[in-house]
Amino acid sequence: MIYEPLEEGETLEDTTPPVLVSGDGVEYVLPYIQVFDYGTPSSVVLEDFADNDHQNNLGGAVATYKGENYTEGGGYWYTFIDKLGSSIENCTSPTLAINAYNVAEAIHNNEICLDINIANDASGYGGFGSNILFEEAAIDLSDLTQVKITAYGSGSPVGVMFETTDIDRTVQDGWGNYAASTPITLSASPQVFTYNVSDFVGEEYSAIKGDPLEPHLHLASKFFFQLKDGATAKIHITNIEFIFEPDAQDPDTLRVAKFDWKNDDYDPSFVFDLSKVGVPAEIDQSEPYMDWSTAILTPAPTVMEADDTNIPADTGINNWLSVDGTKLRDSHGRLVRLTGVNWFGFETKNAIPFGLWARDYKDMLQQIADTGFNTVRIPFSDYIIDQSKADNAAYHLGELDITINASLNSDLNSSMTPLDLLDKIIEHARDIGLKIVLDNHSRGPDKYLVEGHWVTEEYPEEKWIANWVWLAKRYKDNDAVVALDLNNEPHFEAGWDSDKASNNWNEAAERCAAAIQDPAKGNNPNALIIIEGVEGLNENSPAVDKYWWGGNMKGVLTAPIEIPVQDKLVYSPHEYGPEVYLQPWFRDYRFPNNLPYIWEDRFGFIYHLDMGHLFVGEFGIKNPSPQGGISAAEKWFDEFVQYMADHREGYSWTYWAWNPNSGDTGGILTNNWEDVHQWKLDKLSDLQAPMIGNRNGK
């Protein structure tokens, strides 16, 4: 199969999406992998700003981080603005203040339109833009010759800019802005503005004033529109075209991303017999992503211990959890499970959880509990902890470039640090019975994608462990902080019991857990220790041994984790569907019947071999199936929820994400940060467990 780009003038709604014809005879709709709306032999074009399905490139309408190059899971639109009274609103009625979290409200008739008012005529600024990556389109910035923008509107001229991360120059933080020498002059009728690469020169505050954008660059981080110094404008963008030198080898090739894979011959009558133990002989043992010759599928248990629905009354005693074989029990011995959501933001440059410009944090937590969840997994970065511990005034809430509505969060003040806010969230969660999982998502803010390893140059292992010891001691008497997720999604070179000791995540996790539980250090034998898997067991693992980042637990078979307080150990894979990445097993005719075999091989054996309790820290789905069909994403999600339900006593989980601003999965919340996607809750409701409670132990 091949993913073709859209034709000029088409939207996704105009096309027939690609499908996988499965061995069970069902056609499953696959995600449409595209990076621009359509392409020509010499350009790529974006013109449907209402389309929210562009992945990892310029496009889409939902963004996340205010004024920074952060987008959770993809490259969508964002806004940025000073804190001097400037404003950005949509152009339609009723008017609405637009920030990076609701840019979708600025889309009308497939155009993006913003009314920008820069209040301060000395140092004010504001604008909007998108991350751009050309790598998936078989082109890079060195091929770029021109940019054409179709726009109309009224008001002041609007600057057109690139911001790059690969400028081969020494500037603060490695960033540099290049502004077009001539801005867009708006008129009532759409006009086409054409810029050559040489028109983009260093902006005055970028330390590279006057130097042109060098065409040797391989990556542009942002392409954006900006107003400064008291300017006002209402601008409509209808079309952006990036024009490149034609491919000398194949000048007629469309310069857009295509996705190819082999066309398997399949027998529509072939269906897996899941009643058998082991793998049917008919299965092709040469598949690159699964060693079918050794795969074992144990039948789902027919008798399981049920969740205990009798929530103990308050006793004033902490209610900690412990692992009993494959089960999780509270201090009364009741069978419990952590079933919750991820609320992210602390791990980003935002420095606090997203959404507090629209909601009170207490109201947010209460809604999480009211929708049936009993746990919140909170990602954070080491950097934010360090800045808070040092009481760095630059990281007080009043100084951060964040959106937080002080009137809605009245018990917060401008001198608080992000860690103070975390304390407040934990305190209220404890009061209403929610459990908290602290997730060390990255060392630096927004670095979870590129780090891979628990050690960086800025954060050697000793510093990473020291932060965990400090946090463990801080919350050792607070039973709301029920679990510590030591490192999110080890990947790239991170291994498990490999020949290279410095890459062995399992051994580093054991060292960290030992320090946390050591009476002379963290002195916290109470919290669960959550240890995730890896991508590949070895640095050069073949594809057959790889899986989602953090999702591969196969190393546990030969090198299980050992910690001082062993009944606090929980293993944690992450599991995602084809919306995040179209893995080979999603485009194989054996789908969806191959899924249980893959899950058993990667992590499910831990339950069936009685090796421990599992906590699926992340899994999620973005879109429902199209009308009249069923998507591979929804089929995967339904199958995985059922898989956990079949073994529910052995599985805790937190859905990714509560936030709507995840580019990969969206959220339980809709883009207004108040309403919920009921269809997602309906799919999860039967898998949710009762509240566990705090200070109700024995």
If asked whether residues 234 and 381 sit together in one domain, one would say no
Which structural domain range is residue 97 located in?
Answer: 34-244
Which class for 608: exposed (0-12), middle (13-18), buried (19 or more C-beta within 10 A)?
middle
If asked whether residues 387 and 475 sit together in one domain, one would say yes
**Cα 570 from Cα 561, distance rounded (Å):** 9
Q: What is the DSSP-derived secondary structure letter of residue 366?
A: H
> What percentage of residues in the chain have a pLDDT greater than 70?
77
Is residue 122 assigned to a domain?
Answer: yes
If asked whether residues 504 and 608 sit together in one domain, one would say yes
Q: Per the structure block, which two tokens stand in for 256?
A: 């857009």
**Cα 151 from Cα 554, distance rounded (Å):** 54
Q: What is the pLDDT of residue 67?
A: 25
Is residue 268 assigned to a domain?
Answer: no
163, 203, 489, 575: the catalytic one is 489
618 among known catalytic residues = yes
Three-state secondary structure along 236-281? EEEEEEEEECCCCCCCCCCCCCCCECCCCCCCCCCCCCCCCCCCCC
Is residue 253 assigned to a domain?
Answer: no
489 among known catalytic residues = yes
Question: Last residue of a domain, which of 211, 244, 277?
Answer: 244
111, 241, 493, 618: the catalytic one is 618
Element (H, E) at 339: strand 339-342
pLDDT in tens, 127-146: 988 766 554 445 556 678 89
**Cα 381 from Cα 347, distance rounded (Å):** 4
Is residue 224 assigned to a domain?
Answer: yes
Its sign, for the CA torsion 446, 470, 476, 511, is: positive
If asked whether residues 205 and 331 sit together in one domain, one would say no
Q: What is the pLDDT of residue 456?
A: 93
pTM of the full predicted structure? 0.81
If asked whether residues 221 and 348 sit together in one domain, one would say no
Question: Last residue of a domain, which of 244, 269, 289?
Answer: 244
Is residue 697 assigned to a domain?
Answer: no
Number of domains in the chain: 2
If asked whether residues 359 and 223 sit together in one domain, one would say no
Stretches in the chain below the pLDDT threshold 50:
1-5, 34-35, 52-75, 135-137, 166-175, 218, 254-286, 288
If asked whether residues 371 and 235 sit together in one domain, one would say no
Is residue 12 assigned to a domain?
Answer: no
If asked whether residues 88 and 228 sit together in one domain, one would say yes
Q: What is the CATH number of the domain that holds 542?
A: 3.20.20.80
The CA-CA-CA angle for residues 307, 313, 316, to 5°, reads 120
If asked whether residues 354 and 473 sit together in one domain, one would say yes
How do beta strands 339-342 and 335-336 pair?
A: unpaired
Is residue 301 assigned to a domain?
Answer: no
Q: What is the pLDDT of residue 71?
A: 32
- What per-residue string of b and e applies to 176-207 under the rule 16 or more CB within 10 Å gives b? bbbbbeebbebeeeeeebebebebbbbbeebe
For the beta carbon of residue 515, count every other beta carbon within 10 angstroms.
19
Q: What is the pLDDT of residue 543?
A: 66
**Cα 602 from Cα 546, distance rounded (Å):** 9
Q: What is the pLDDT of residue 397?
A: 87
Give the strands of the sheet with 335-336, arranged side by side.
Answer: 322-324, 327-329, 335-336
CA neighbor of 246 nearest in space, from 99, 145, 147:
145
If asked whether residues 193 and 335 sit together in one domain, one would say no
If asked whether residues 234 and 328 sit together in one domain, one would say no
**Cα 448 from Cα 434, distance rounded (Å):** 26
In residues, how long is the chain?
698
If asked whether residues 228 and 328 sit together in one domain, one would say no
Is residue 485 assigned to a domain?
Answer: yes
How do beta strands 232-244 and 43-46 pair?
A: antiparallel
Q: What is the CATH number of the domain that holds 84?
A: 2.60.120.430
Q: What is the DSSP-derived secondary structure letter of residue 298?
A: P
Q: What is the pLDDT of residue 254?
A: 46
In sequence order, which residues have a C-beta less than 8 Å from that of residue 679 and are 6 or more positions away? 624
pLDDT in tens, 165-185: 544 444 444 446 788 889 999
**Cα 552 from Cα 290, distance rounded (Å):** 12
Question: Last residue of a domain, which of 244, 260, 275?
Answer: 244
Collapsing DSSP states into helix, strand and coil, what is residue 432? helix
